[in-house]
Structures are given as structure tokens and as C-alpha cells.
Structure 1
Amino acid sequence: MQNPISASIWKHRYLYLLVIPGTLYFIIYRYIPLFGSIIAFQDYNPFKGFIHSEWVGLRHFYTIFENQDVLRVLFNTLQLSFLQIVFAFPAPILLALMLNEIRSQFVKRWIQSIIYLPHFLSWVVIAGIATVFLRSEGLVNQLLHAAFNTEPIYFLQSPVFFKPLLILEVIWKEAGWGTVVFLAALAGVNAELYEAAVVDGAGRMRRIWHITLPAIRSTIVILLILRLGTVLDSGFEQVFLMLNPYVMEVGNVLDTYVYYKGIVQADFSFGTAVGLFKSLVGLVLVVLANRLAKRFNEEGIY
């Protein structure tokens, strides 16, 4: 008699074949490198390797909270993540709500295509565009001088403009792509609900508040929980490309600090310790946010 498990595997063999590449990716590039995390507890020496390097326990983790530079960088990271959650996270939701109100499918698809395009640009291109437009002799300063006869404003060298500039770049690049998820959720809303609301005399804003937003509420909660899990990830590539000596005090975040400390200065153990610390904080925030969502009768991620 054929084993039912073997029979099921053979029946769905092509589906399992499709899963193999993704599984191998996570095993090779995600799980196997986890063994290297032990260097966070060592004074790692590349010439001695994992086995013979000196064990120092939690010394590198103590450094995270004792070093004033690390505390400043941690504050910059949390501040930037908070600004992204407050301003960049709601942007796709607002775009999805506005696009959902457009009745012409041609106009809707045309606008969608335009706002999706920046997502496919690399941060190198985005940083290049920002530099060309915002440098002292760039287009923005030329327009300001022509309109108000102002002196050049050094946007890229000013600590005041650094974080708002990063937030605007994130919104411009990713907000359009983020609407895909919310528009997909809105596609499942029964059109009869809107028709019934119109019959009852509900205006557009009341229909959005009582029908559209509740339809995507669970999606918003899930994405917010996942975003909280990466609260210490500020986007290394974007920040690294926009950094310069003038804004280092307010712009240096954990990711760039680990690069300079762990890679440039070859302090591999400390860089790994910071990475583990970030992962632990992300795990705690995800668990807490998920429990909070469950308490308010919302769907969580598990």
C-alpha cells in the first residue's frame, strides 16, 4: 500500500519544485550565516577564526549602552524611524483612498503607472537626482533666486533639512508602490455597500470613513506591525548616500555606524553585536504590537 504522504508529495511534486529555489535562498543566505553570530560574543580575529578567537561574553553589548556615540546614533535611528512611521507610512494609504475614488479606469491606471515608477529607481539614482536639484547651484536654488532673490540655501549640508529630505525621498519613491497592497484590499469591498450608503444619504467622506477604511484596517495593522519590527532599520543605502561631514552628527544611524565601525575599522564583533541587538528589539516590538492588535480584536501576523 502506498504511503499517503509520499502519494501527496508526488501528486504535488511540481509545486514542491517551485518552492525549492526560495527555500534554498533562505537556507543559504539567511539561516547558515546565523552561525556567524557567535562572533558577537568574541573578540573576533579573522586569522584565528570562530573557534580560536577569544570569548568576551556580553562585552560588546555593554558597549552599545556605554558609548556616547552609540547612544547618539541610536537616538538618530529611532527619530528617523518615528518620522517615517508618522509621515511615510500613511502616504500609501492616502494615495489608495484617493485612487479608489477615481471612476475612470483609464485615468486611474495612468496615475498608478506614474506613481509606481520611482519604486524601480535605485537609491543611487534618487540621491543623484536630489543632489542635482538641491545643490547650491541647483534648480531649486535657481528658482528661489529668480522668484525671491534669495541667497543659495545649502540643503544637502544643513542638519535641519537632512531628515525631512530623507522622509520626502522615501515618500516619493515608495508611496506609489505601497498603494498596491491597499488597492488590492479595496478591490474586495462589495460595491453594494457604497450603493446602500448613497441611498442612506452618506457623503463621500462618510463612505470613506465607514466603508473604505474599515475594509483595509486589518491590512494597515499587519503592515504597521511588520514596520515596527524594522524600527532600527533606517535604510542603509539611502542614508549612506546622503551623508556628508556636515550632517554626520544628525544623520549617522545604526546601519551606517556599523558600517564605519565594523567594516571600515574592522571591528566585526561589535558590528555583529549591534545586528543582534537590532534583531532582538525588532522581535520584541513585533510580539508586543501583535498582542496589542489582538487585544483590540484585530488580525495579527500570527
Structure 2
Amino acid sequence: MTVKKVKKAVIPAAGLGTRFLPATKAMPKEMLPIVDKPTIQYIIEEAVASGIEDILIVTGKGKRAIEDHFDSVPELEQTLIEKGKSEFLALVEETTNINIHFIRQSKPMGLGHAVLQAKAFVGDEPFVVMLGDDIVQAEVPCTRQLIEEYYKTERSIIGVQPVSREVTHRYGIVDLKESIAGGLHKVESFVEKPAPGTEPSNLAIMGRYLFTPQIFKFLETQKAGTGGEIQLTDAITRLNEMQNVFVYEFDGKRYDVGEKLGFIQTTLEFALNREDLREDVLKMMTQLIEEQTTVKITI
């Protein structure tokens, strides 16, 4: 039997973004820019580079700006054409030549509930879930790595990376059952944000999932868990009891743009990686460091 091709991606984007208030009072956190590109666009670009053909973004109230960003703006495009600004026109057009669909999560009932909204979109196909708080830079796109592992196993696969024990309480942590070749592991169970000192390993779920459609069977019957929400991790644990769920230690650098310090770090690193900004940013950072050092000495 031929393995079904992974063609669809689901991007949950219905969160309130409370960590970035007041900026997110009127602007979706997914639209906060890393230099000059919204964070969600990096996720979309990874999906496209991984061979994904259809993308569903699960939004909520106050998220209309996401839809507008990926829609065409004829007036802007015509103005850029008339002024001969082909470089900017290309930047605008690259956000519209993607097959993107939208659905609204009516109530903020958790990540598992958000993924459940994609059931009709997915049908009986395997699909990926990509969280917008995690940007991954890799030679082979992170999502593509998971897809390649799926073609070998034909089972759900979750992207993980090791973290320090001091921060395991912030993540979904994997209790390993058996290690296989090349960074692939079978899983005993998943623990959502374990209390410090109780973590079964330091392998943390990093915002990239590939599921068989059987996950919906468990999401539909999943009871509310931590925070009174439908937790995706709980449904994955139940799926793992029916068919093996694997985790894969993907290659690449993961950036956490879901909290302030990580967002600042990502912005600085991405700016330093751009030829048009690197020299000026380095000068600015050097000057700021010197100023801060002088202030401390003076005090």
C-alpha cells in the first residue's frame, strides 16, 4: 500500500498573546515582526519549503490582520508597479501566492481544541501542525525532516530537542521507551510541564508535529486537562496507546519567539544575518554596550 503524501499543514493562531500586551491588544502576536517579516510568515515559508501544498490557519477574534497579510492588495501592487519598485512588489506577491485557508476557533479552549477544528480540512490524510511560537532555521526544513521520518514509519512523529533540566517545567517532556537509529525514538508517555525534578528526560516538544488522522478520534473525546483546556499532549498520549508515536530529534536552531527575551534575541540574530543590516546593527550594539558599561561605572 502506498504511503499517503503529506500535503497539509495546520497552524494554530488563536491565542491571545498576553505575554506581549499591550502590543497584542489590537495586533495578533503572530504579526509581530522579526526585523521586517511577521513571525507567522516564517512558519508559512517553512511549510512551503517542506513541500506542503495547503495550509489551514486556525484564528480567533481580533486576528483579521493575518488574513489581510496573506491576501492580495491590488492598489498597493499597482502603485509599486507604476513606481518601478519591483523588489518590493516581489516581497508583497510572495505572501499571496500560497494556498492558505482560515477557520476561527470560537472559544479559547486549548491547543488540542484548535487542532480539532482542522478535522474536515485534513480528512483522512496525514498532516503537520506548526506552532507560531517556534521558528526553526535548518539546512533541511524542520517540517521536511519530520515528513521524511513519517515516510519510514507511517506513524505520528513529533519534533523534539534537548533542553536544560532547569527549564523542562516549561515544556511537554518525553518519557522515552526505546531509541532507534538517527535520532528517532519510541515513546512511553508525554508529560505536560512536569514539576521541577520530576521530568523523565530533557527532550522537549518544540512546536512541530506530524499526525496520522487518528489523532482526531482522541481529540474529539479528550477531557479538559491542565488549565481547564483540551491539551494536545493528553490526546497524543492516548494515541500512543493505540499506535506508536515517535519523536525525532531534528537538526536546526530553534528560536522561541513566544516570550519577550527570545523574541528580542531572534530579532537581533536575524538582523545580524542580513548583509544590509549586519554592520550597522553591530555598531549600534557596540555603542549600547559601551554606554551601559559607562553608566554602571559612573554609578
Q: TM-score range by the shorter chain?
A: under 0.3
Which protein is richer in helix relative to its size? 1
Greater C-alpha radius of gyration: 1
Which protein is richer in strand relative to its size? 2
Q: Which has the higher contact order (CA 8 A, sep 6+)?
A: 1
Report the TM-score when normalising by structure 1.
Answer: 0.19
